[in-house]
Structure 1
């Protein structure tokens, strides 16, 4: 009886492993945009995907891992001196400290289908060495995946201009939440 039970467990494990498939996400064709908000306006730009993998079981999304190149932060709504200043400030220790933390990472911890092409994803997001859970919807059609994440920067020790950490900022407040809009190509 023990041999039969062990054989069934081994077969089930082998079958599950055989059905699991990892698909690399193209780092050159995928686009990741960000948008940050402040009193009286916003700024936006791009950031590069360093690596990405989505895991499937029988064509159903079950997991994923993504690494973002924080050194690639790029502002797209400004030009010249102002763009250079903002890019440098975002890379500095006031914001993302890319010299110390050159990458950010998200590892999916839970993936649940909500309909034929959409999943509710929860993952552990690490920015500046701080890890917190985030939940977002991911739509998947063919070789295209799209997701929008709303991230609270105060949870990752990104303090500059945050009313969560400083009083009397008045019109100099930079809101804690920023958006990441990912258009991924498999």
Structure 2
């Protein structure tokens, strides 16, 4: 509990860490994400919708219905539009944590925008959140007509390098990249291991 509160308190602080390039976070990348994902992350990805719906219900029950409504498509489970992979480039990324992971924690909190980057990593794409005290870094894999699959790890605080994916279950992150509007995407992370039931990163080109 103390660790989670500390993480929440410092999320808005800047970080100047130089992270391991996204492509090297996964030691043996393959174009098919199923050959890379851990058993735990396969479950998280499979159950993404029920996790998201439960997170939204918890947030609404705790007085955040209006804040959820204001976000529109960003917090609507079935708002993915398809349309191909997210373009490479620099993004402003805003994190919203939905649903309390444990009793007594916040059930909804929206943070200001940080800096993120999508770039080519050989025949895949790499995603990295470049600032903030919780920074996801990893690879974006082809998914289906509606979404791409993200697998990576979480960098915390002033850490200068990302851990390898699969080394620490608590640091592994998995989710979907979806287009939800014109020049608007989201990275949906079901059942993160810290604080919330679902994390949603809004991605808008800089």
What band does the TM-score fall into relative to the shorter chain?
0.3 to 0.5
Higher RCO structure (Cα 8 Å, ≥6 apart): 2
Structure (1 or 2) with the larger CA radius of gyration: 1
Q: TM-score, normalized by length of structure 2? A: 0.42
Higher strand share: 1
Q: TM-score, normalized by length of structure 1? A: 0.46
